[in-house]
Amino acid sequence: MNIIEKILAKHTNQTVVVPNEIIDVFIDTRAARDFGGANVVKNLLDNGLKVADASKTIFTFDCNPGGSDQKYAANQHFCRQYARENDIKIYDVDSGIGTHNAIDLGLAWPGSTFVSTDSHANIMGAIGSFGQGMGDQDIAAAWAKGAVWFKVPESVKINITGKRPSNISGKDIVLNLLSIFGANKLLGYSVEMYGEEVDKFTLDERITISSMATEMGAIIIIFTPTNQIIELFEKKTNKKLEIISPDTDAKYVQEFNIDISTFVQMVARPGHPHDDTDIKSVIGTKIDSAFIGSCTNGRIDDLRIAANILKGNKIAPGLVLKVVPATNEIWDQALEEGLIKIFKDCGAMVANAGCAGCAAGQIGQNGPGEVTISTGNRNFEGKQGKGFVYLASPSVVAASAIAGFITTPDNLPLQPSFFEKLGIMKPSVAQKSENIQKPTVVEGKVWFIEKDDIDTDMIFHNRYLAITDIKEMGQYTFDNLKGYEDFAKKVNSGDIVITAKNFGAGSSRQQAVDCFSALGVACIIAESYGAIYERNAINAALPILTYLPEKLKEAEVKNGDTIRIDFLNGELQNLTTGKKTTINKFYDAQFEIYKNGGLLN
């Protein structure tokens, strides 16, 4: 048998397994992330299943450690509650990437089996372990039964010949392999790598290469562990481990001989990790941002390489560099070695450990048209935002961040690149009518919301603050105000909102005003307003007025009544009951802004 067959056989009730055989594989460590973890729990609860062995079961929160996305925050809290009830260990938001913690903390070891809701769980091939990313139902089954069914894959052998050039990193090696095999020539295979140079690959380099097996379509890229790796994991696990190597008569469906001396520094062009090119073809390409991290290149060796280039330099003017170590242990080590200071001194942002930019996680995404160079493993359209992402090694990303364009460490310019003024940010002046006719008397149905201190988060929650198009804002009005979550669906254009004290307290967000304009709300009447909210409403030409409680009572206004408001005379008439009263009218400056259609008109 070959390596993967030996590992799988040891985790079944069989002594021999063969390709394409369906077997039940016992799983040593079963993980779920914040991405997918809540669905794993839901599958267990919906099917009345319990966790078979909590000691072999873990959560890892690494996609969005900050919980800045409300859905991730909800999923994390849901998983934490389940973990408390079932004594499950959580590697929480302070821990970093789950697969890397599994390696560094000895949760996986040479010869072990590991599954996760992470498609890069096959990174375990770096230590001679079987790792697989699986869907929610598979992971739920592993949690409940301790085992999952698996089809034994066919295996491919890659022999690396020649001498490795000095400037070729682990990332360059895997990008060169991607340029040879593409995204599907190794589809469904387990890949084993051998050669004199392979034996010299560091653990961090093996991790980089194994991490991108997924991008090559392979089940796993698996290495025979070195004696040093075996000794390292014996210390981590207190287990006696043996090197698992293939039998002399092991079967492979294909065998490739590849000369590493022909490898060049490469980048993957935006859109596909396998769209690789010699870096010489893209040197000089202007970039807006750079990212160092991910499960592919967030190791301590990667950070040392980047820091060595960045030390004593500054990132190019106007460029953004984000650095995210893979785990908290690596973060601490980088701090102790002074690497974090180097990153900060050069102008980089250093975030807490996690997947970060590669998963559009805690450091955010790139924007439309933004060009990013990244050490991540994927650059699919939309994966890291709406910009364009080149993939490269840590040394290339660091050098490019200094230069302001794609380059190599041995080709740094004397002066960084500056952004040209391209004239793309031109004013967009809306067509306006010669005579703006704004009504000074309005009639509408009343929404009477008798609550004090309705703040801007209740009116327009901060999870929607990225919205800049007023037409899109109305649908979220009051969706965080208890009892009025469906306001936007029920309100009609021309309706009037009456509320109590301090309406619009809190933040300065203009959306909390504009959302009413988007819905066609005719005006808002309150006993008082938050100071910033009042200015925002007046400046946006949203009619707002105030009243004295005793005067409003005279009109006997109830929810659902129809009323008429005269802005200039301060009159309120309840058309349902015929009752009248007075309210505070527009003051002169307010009316000037209102009749002009807003402050900027």
**Going by CATH, does the domain composed of 441-595 fall within 3.40.50.1110?**
no
Strand partners, 385: 366
* Per-residue pLDDT at 378: 84
Mean pLDDT of the region 126-135:
95
How far is residue 360 from each of residues 294, 390, 433, 457, 543, measured CA to CA in Å? 11, 15, 43, 24, 40
CATH architecture of 3-262: 2-Layer Sandwich (3.30)
Tokens of 276: 């690789």
127 close to 105: Cβ distance less than 8 angstroms: no
Strand bridging mode 320-323 / 580-582: unpaired
Mean pLDDT (the chain) is 93
Tokens of 535: 């200015």
d(CA 56, CA 183): 33
**Burial (CB count <10 Å: 0-12, 13-18, 19+), residue 170:** buried
* Per-residue pLDDT at 237: 96
270-411, what's its fold?
Aconitase; domain 3 (3.30.499)
Please, which residues have CB within 8 angstroms of residue 43's CB and are 6 or more apart in sequence?
49, 136, 137, 140
Instruction: List b or e across 523-549, with b for residues whose CB sees 16 or more CB atoms inside 10 angstroms.
Output: bbbbbbbbebbbebbbbbbbbbbbbee
At 236, is the secondary structure helix, strand, or coil? Answer: helix
- Is pLDDT of 435 > 60? no
Percentage of the chain lying above the pLDDT 90 cut: 82
Banded pLDDT at 354 (limits 50, 70, 90)? confident
- Is pLDDT of 395 > 80? yes
Please, which residues have CB within 8 angstroms of residue 79's CB and are 6 or more apart in sequence?
32, 34, 37, 38, 41, 59, 61, 90
- Is pLDDT of 274 > 70? yes
532 close to 484: Cβ distance less than 8 angstroms: no
Tokens of 357: 């930019």
Q: Which amino acid is at 325?
A: P
List where CATH 3.30.499.10 sits in the chain: 3-262, 270-411
- Is pLDDT of 359 > 70? no
Mean pLDDT of the region 58-87:
86
* Per-residue pLDDT at 385: 78
Q: What DSSP string runs through 384-402? A: SBSSEEEE--HHHHHHHHH
452 half-sphere exposure, CB direction, 13 A CA radius: 2
How far is residue 137 from each of residues 34, 37, 140, 312, 344, measured CA to CA in Å? 15, 11, 5, 50, 42
Strand partners, 158: 193, 256
Please, which residues have CB within 8 angstroms of residue 186's CB and are 6 or more apart in sequence?
156, 216, 217, 218
Strand partners, 441: 566
- Is pLDDT of 336 > 70? yes
Banded pLDDT at 392 (limits 50, 70, 90)? very high
Q: Which residue has the tokens 């100071």?
A: 531
- Is pLDDT of 430 > 60? no
* Per-residue pLDDT at 433: 44
Mean pLDDT of the region 150-178:
97
Banded pLDDT at 65 (limits 50, 70, 90)? confident
List where CATH 3.20.19.10 sits in the chain: 441-595
Q: What DSSP string runs through 32-47? A: EETTBHHHHHHHHHHT
* Per-residue pLDDT at 386: 83
- Is pLDDT of 527 > 70? yes
d(CA 398, CA 418): 17
Banded pLDDT at 68 (limits 50, 70, 90)? low
At 544, is the secondary structure helix, strand, or coil? Answer: strand
Chain-centre distance for alpha carbon 421: 31
- Is pLDDT of 67 > 70? no
pTM for the structure as a whole: 0.83
Banded pLDDT at 384 (limits 50, 70, 90)? confident
Mean pLDDT of the region 470-491:
96
d(CA 9, CA 1): 9
- Is pLDDT of 305 > 60? yes
At 567, is the secondary structure helix, strand, or coil? Answer: coil
Banded pLDDT at 280 (limits 50, 70, 90)? very high
Mean pLDDT of the region 71-98:
92
Strand bridging mode 580-582 / 571-574: antiparallel
The string of pLDDT tens digits covering residues 169-228 is 999 999 999 999 998 899 999 999 999 999 999 999 999 999 999 999 999 999 999 999
Mean pLDDT of the region 299-325:
96
d(CA 221, CA 564): 73
- Is pLDDT of 500 > 60? yes
- Is pLDDT of 334 > 60? yes
Mean pLDDT of the region 112-125:
94
Name the more confident of 384 and 100.
Answer: 100
How far is residue 478 from each of residues 68, 366, 432, 493, 544, measured CA to CA in Å? 21, 30, 31, 16, 17
* Per-residue pLDDT at 436: 65
537 close to 554: Cβ distance less than 8 angstroms: no
Mean pLDDT of the region 354-362:
71
Please, what is the angle between helix 170-181 and helix 203-211, to 10°?
30
305 close to 169: Cβ distance less than 8 angstroms: yes
